[in-house]
Amino acid sequence: MKITDILTQQMTLCNAPGSSKKRVLENLSEFITKQLDGDGEQADSLFQNLIARERLGSTGIGEGVAIPHCRVAGFKRIHGCLVKLQEAVDFDSLDDQPVDLIFALIVPEEQNEEHLATLARIAAIMQNDDSRVSLRQCSSSEELYNTALQLERAA
């Protein structure tokens, strides 16, 4: 599954606040839920699912990138959310580097194969040095979204 299949401009956020991993995941949950016309209860449920996944091991893959992801009941398709933080935060990453680029995945409970393939695709793009530089140079959500689409086409 391609990034263009799961990411929309509305689910892209540049210069997002976040002082800690927990706060970033909270903000991310609220942002995603709002974009999908959900409510506070759904935002809390998403947050709890993301935190539960982080307890299994950090989704910080290194080089300032995290790919938080979880399965959630009630979703019909995979949703992606790309975020560039205002300031990098400690994410318990494998390389101990703070994270400033986040690509979250919200996956329906029954879509395991698509989930793993999408996760691998995002990781491949985000692990590329030039890709990270391009994303970090973005100054607006629209530019961040368009850059992600260009990186997808080039991959």
C-alpha–C-alpha distance, residues 60 and 42, integer Å: 24
Number of domains in the chain: 1
Residue 126's domain is classified under what CATH number? 3.40.930.10
Q: Which of 139, 134, 126 is nearest to 69 (CA)?
A: 126
Mean pLDDT, residues 99-128: 88
Q: How many residues does the chain have?
A: 155
| Structure confidence at residue 27 (pLDDT) | 96
| Structure confidence at residue 110 (pLDDT) | 76
Domain, as residue range, for 24: 3-154
pLDDT (tens digit per residue) in 38-49:
888 889 999 999
Whether residue 79 lies in the annotated active site: no
C-alpha–C-alpha distance, residues 154 and 12, integer Å: 19
pLDDT at 111 over 70: no
Distances (CA, A) of 126 to 36, 82, 89: 25, 11, 17
| Structure confidence at residue 112 (pLDDT) | 67
Count of C-beta atoms within a 10 Å radius of residue 46: 24
Mean pLDDT, residues 142-150: 97
| Structure confidence at residue 137 (pLDDT) | 97
C-alpha–C-alpha distance, residues 85 and 117, integer Å: 25
Contact 24, 18 (CB under 8 A): yes
pLDDT (tens digit per residue) in 115-144:
788 888 999 999 999 999 999 999 999 999
Options 21, 69, 79, 132, the catalytic residue: 69
DSSP bridge partners of 105: 69, 80
pLDDT at 6 over 90: yes
Count of C-beta atoms within a 10 Å radius of residue 6: 22
| Structure confidence at residue 134 (pLDDT) | 97
Query: Average pLDDT over the chain, rounded to whole?
Result: 93
Identity of the amino acid at 83 = V
| Structure confidence at residue 71 (pLDDT) | 87
C-alpha–C-alpha distance, residues 21 and 152, integer Å: 27
| Full-model pTM | 0.94
